[in-house]
Amino acid sequence: MLSRKGIIPEEYVLTRLAEDPAEPRYRARERKARFVSKNGNCNVAHKNIREQGRFLQDVFTTLVDLKWPYTLLIFTMSFLCSWLLFAMVWWLIAFAHGDLAPGEGAAVPCVTSIHSFSSAFLFSIEVQVTIGFGGRMVTEECPLAILILIVQNIVGLMINAIMLGCIFMKTAQAHRRAETLIFSKHAVIALRHGRLCFMLRVGDLRKSMIISATIHMQVVRKTTSPEGEVVPLHQVDIPMENGVGGNSIFLVAPLIIYHVIDANSPLYDLAPCDLHHHQDLEIIVILEGVVETTGITTQARTSYLADEILWGQRFVPIVTEEDGRYSVDYSKFGNTIKVPTPLCTARQLEEDPSLLDVLTLARGPLRKRSVAVAKAKPKFSISPDSLS
């Protein structure tokens, strides 16, 4: 019995879905540290920061950047501390006015029904959260009590505005929208219009669109200047292209973004063998745009190391027309097929265009053979006699 591998040509066998976590892994080898991880987080640790006070100059941003447990702890402690502080102030006012001993104190207290620190604490909560149970209230006996009432209300409003605004910003952060912007797990290098191109696929899982979406790409590698200076993270911008031209994309359906590897490209001297040995190469892709529903600018990032770039493969089509509308099959989002591609650098291909002619000649017999096999395939027909 013939196996499928012997029946289906190798160049037409689809690879496993790029996002499949069960993808077989090859022999593990030490990989370089990523500058940007696959989920977009920057893999940079900030150490030995001596000027910690600069973070307190922008308290709101510092609170937003904190983790949720610390934010909730600060939220709770800010209210408790303010309640306790003003409870102490109300207790001191009552003590100074003699209201804590009703039998010996003044006939009209500054605040009614305050006999201990507990009652002063309850009154402080009622004032700040505007909950009145009718048992305690400020009288016109003490002008200082009226002033403290105004001050506590202002402080309470400020705490509410800061903390509620901080929690709102944490729940509506732009990177939450970026979770539904996806990139292919692997990038590919193949021929397009007779030139080697670096290609990747990007898509949006939501129906609400990203307005004015732009995409940028950078190559990060370790370099050494002619003067001997070592630059561990040398960033080089390279242009990205799409089907409509320019960086602005209309991300209503998944798009294949590509970069033409020409003389101005940092990948001009990249060969297939370099993808297995070039450990210093990392390509960062940044997608920016405005969220249609909220108007907040969001950014999604990913990166590709050298061993995550597939040479001589192309993404399979995933957009089809069904029942008068276009359908996107995301199960094939990262699938690729092998295509004839010269095993040389873009520089060598530009200097020797005959390499493309060799590929054309190599594809010719395969096409003729497939046509000949199609013609030699017997045709079966049903005659009227066989039905009788």
- Please give the span between the terminal C-alpha atoms of the chain, in angstroms, as a whole number: 35
Q: Per-residue pLDDT tens for 349-368? A: 888 877 777 666 555 543 43
Question: pTM higher than 0.85, yes or no?
Answer: no
Q: Per-residue pLDDT tens for 176-233? A: 777 888 899 999 999 988 889 999 999 988 888 888 888 888 888 877 778 888 877 8
pLDDT given at position 372: 39
Q: Per-residue pLDDT tens for 54-109? A: 666 777 788 888 888 888 898 899 999 999 999 999 999 998 888 887 665 557 88
Q: Which of 307, 17, 84, 343 is nearest to 191 (CA)?
A: 343
Which has more confidence, 44 or 146?
Answer: 146
Q: Per-residue pLDDT tens for 124-133? A: 999 998 877 7
CA atoms within 13 A on the CB side of 177: 22
pLDDT given at position 359: 66
Architecture of domain 52-172: Orthogonal Bundle (1.10)
Q: DSSP secondary structure string, 46-81?
A: ------THHHHTTHHHHHHHS-HHHHHHHHHHHHHH
Average model confidence (pLDDT) across the chain:
78
* Cross-strand bridge partners of residue 224: 230
Domain boundary assignment for the chain: 52-172, 177-361
Helix (H), strand (E) at residue 190:
strand 187-192
Helix (H), strand (E) at residue 152:
helix 143-171
Alpha-helix residue ranges (DSSP H) falling in 212-336: 274-277
Q: Which of 38, 29, 27, 34 is nearest to 281 (CA)?
A: 34
What share of the chain in percent tops pLDDT 70?
77
Q: Per-residue pLDDT tens for 247-281? A: 678 888 899 988 899 888 888 888 888 887 766 78
CATH of 177-361, one of 3.40.190.150, 1.20.1740.10, 2.40.50.180, 2.60.40.1400: 2.60.40.1400
Helix (H), strand (E) at residue 5:
helix 4-7
Output Rg (C-alpha) for the chain, integer angstroms: 34
Rounded Cα distance between 266 and 86, Å, is: 64
